């Protein structure tokens, strides 16, 4: 499956996947998906991305006035499975706050 993601979608999907609880084998599979969708060093620099630790958790910040071009990513069937599971099971979406990044990823095969 191919999906075009902007940097906000990359970063939010990365964070959503990172918040999952699973066994060690599943965590390794999730890390592989995170590595696939991660921004490269030049992209991080272009949006002034910074990481900080708050209460033992990594928080990622970037300059919202900056952007980089969206790019197409090809996802394997197993990557789609992990992303879909994370999207379906997350219970803390905000209707307004998450709409901008979440609505475009509606192309994932999410079932109610």
* CA 83 from centre of chain: 8
18-73 per-position pLDDT tens digit: 888 888 998 999 999 999 999 999 999 999 999 999 998 888 999 999 999 999 89
Q: What is the DSSP string of the chain?
A: -EEEE-HHHHHHHHHHHHT----HHHHHHHHHHHHHH---HHHHHHTT-EEEEETTEEEEE--TT-----EEEE--HHHHHHHHHHHHH-----TTTTHHHHGGGGGS----
Q: What are φ and ψ of residue 53, in 5° steps?
A: -100, 125
């Amino acid at each position: 499956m191919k999906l075009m993601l902007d940097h906000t979608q990359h970063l939010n999907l990365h964070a959503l996947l990172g918040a999952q609880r699973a066994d060690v084998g599943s965590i390794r599979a999730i890390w592989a998906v995170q590595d696939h969708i991660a921004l490269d060093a030049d992209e991080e620099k272009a949006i002034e991305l910074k990481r900080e630790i708050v209460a033992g958790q990594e928080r990622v910040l970037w300059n919202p006035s900056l952007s980089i071009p969206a790019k197409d990513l090809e996802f394997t069937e197993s990557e789609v499975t992990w992303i879909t599971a994370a999207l379906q099971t997350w219970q803390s979406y905000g209707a307004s706050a998450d709409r901008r990044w979440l609505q475009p990823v509606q192309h994932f095969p999410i079932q109610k």
